[in-house]
Amino acid sequence: MTLILRKISRKFGRRIILNNLNLEVREGEILALLGPSGCGKSTTLRIIAGLERPDTGEILINGANMTHIPPVDRKIGMVFQNYALFPHLSVGENLSLGLNIRGVPNKQIQVRVSSILGLMKLDDHVNKLPAELSGGQRQRVALARALLRDPSIYLLDEPMSNLDAQLREDLRPELRSLITSENKPVVYVTHDQNEAMALANRIAILNNGVIEQIDTPQDIYKNPKTYFVASFIGSPKINTVNQSNEILSAVRPEDIYFSEEGLNCKVLAREWHGKNQIIILDCSKGILRMICDVDTKIPTNTKVSWDKDKVYRFNINTGKRSILTT
């Protein structure tokens, strides 16, 4: 099973939301759509689900053109950001509503609902209303509802954004195993790069309605194709160290180190992050951030340097990675 988007464009009035977007998600693959708010990632998801129509382009699921098919017939399992559980229905009713509507026999509904409740460890909560559940439980109900549909693809719209940080980490492996167990394409929208890195097989970075880069998490970080990707991924942000002849040079914080020779700077502040520390430096190029081991001492004569091969160069006008090696 695969999902293919071909030349999708969408405008709201004069504003271009998506511009000529191409995307392919293979079976068993989690593709994260990552980008700042307003980049078009939610619109993409809604177009795949059929909740919105693209102005041009087509959506293929398993090779079949779904562009003009209503959402219900696309066999979508969707988890909404706020879960969209029906607040007046109990957990059990939330799960069985769709099956009821589709005319699945009652006995079968019971079997399927109770097996999914067991799988999601929600057995004790069948008769509770969504408001009586914790955030994590609500998220599981929403996921259970998507799984019950036996969909061809999964669409997840920031499913973790309403959970606290600890819970997010706890739930990640569970979520990954659940959605990949069936070997179906998964599209995962998020604005959290850590989550995208942790969960996805590939990440598509969206900016202003255009995909800047699609790659594995490793490549997105190691080989950013545009300045936007380089600056969006990685925390603290990549440092701009030079700007000349339409070329912008940038170095990641972890590639900067103290040395005898190099750029003179002044320490502005230190932030402690467990095993690491972030040192904020002021130099002639502006503010630099370096990340280093917590034991690193700041020398009296603060000079920093970096290796030539760690420098990323971008064309200032196009934002594209430049292959020049000077």
Least separation, in Å, of the C-beta of 175 and another protein?
A: 19
Q: Is 149 in the site for another protein (CB under 8 A)?
A: yes
Interface with another protein (CB under 8 A), residue from 25, 32, 47, 78: 78
| Residue 134: CB atoms within 10 Å | 11
**Segment interacting with another protein (CB under 8 A) among 26-34, 68-76, 200-208, 287-295:** 68-76
- Distance between alpha carbon 104 and the CA centroid of its chain, in Å? 35
Interface with another protein (CB under 8 A), residue from 7, 56, 65, 72: 72
Residue pair 289/281 in contact by the 8 Å Cβ criterion: yes
Q: Is 194 in the site for another protein (CB under 8 A)?
A: no
Interface with another protein (CB under 8 A), residue from 138, 140, 145, 321: 145
Q: Structure tokens of 37? A: 């708010």
**Segment interacting with another protein (CB under 8 A) among 67-75, 209-217, 302-310, 318-326:** 67-75
Distance CA 189, CA 32 (A): 6
Interface with another protein (CB under 8 A), residue from 62, 67, 80, 216: 80
Residue pair 320/279 in contact by the 8 Å Cβ criterion: no
Interface with another protein (CB under 8 A), residue from 38, 71, 136, 234: 71
Is the Cβ of residue 78 or residue 116 nearer to another protein in the bound state?
A: 78
Is the Cβ of residue 73 or residue 295 nearer to another protein in the bound state?
A: 73
In sign, the C-alpha dihedral spanning 211, 207, 166, 277 is: positive
Rg over CA atoms, the chain: 24
Phi-psi region of 57 (alpha: psi -120 to 50; beta: other; left: phi over 0): left
Is the Cβ of residue 102 or residue 273 nearer to another protein in the bound state?
A: 102
**Segment interacting with another protein (CB under 8 A) among 74-82, 177-185, 275-283, 303-311:** 74-82
- Residue length of the chain: 326
Least separation, in Å, of the C-beta of 58 and another protein?
A: 20
Q: Structure tokens of 30? A: 């989690």
**Segment interacting with another protein (CB under 8 A) among 8-16, 65-73, 105-113, 132-140:** 65-73
- Give the residue ranges of DSSP H helices in the chain: 41-49, 91-101, 106-119, 135-148, 165-180, 193-199, 217-222, 227-232
Q: How many residues belong to the site for another protein (CB under 8 A)?
A: 22
Interface with another protein in residues 32-61 (CB under 8 A): 46, 49, 51
**Segment interacting with another protein (CB under 8 A) among 27-35, 85-93, 192-200, 244-252:** 85-93
Residue pair 291/313 in contact by the 8 Å Cβ criterion: no
Interface with another protein (CB under 8 A), residue from 70, 272, 284, 326: 70
Distance CA 141, CA 275 (A): 37
- Distance between alpha carbon 300 and the CA centroid of its chain, in Å? 42
Distance CA 198, CA 80 (A): 20
**Integer distance in angstroms from the first to the last C-alpha of the chain?**
45
Is the Cβ of residue 131 or residue 323 nearer to another protein in the bound state?
A: 131
Is the Cβ of residue 70 or residue 105 nearer to another protein in the bound state?
A: 70
Q: Is 84 in the site for another protein (CB under 8 A)?
A: yes
Least separation, in Å, of the C-beta of 83 and another protein?
A: 8
Residue pair 231/218 in contact by the 8 Å Cβ criterion: no
Residues in contact with another protein by the rule CB under 8 A: 46, 49, 51, 70-72, 76, 78, 80-82, 84-88, 97-98, 101-102, 145, 149
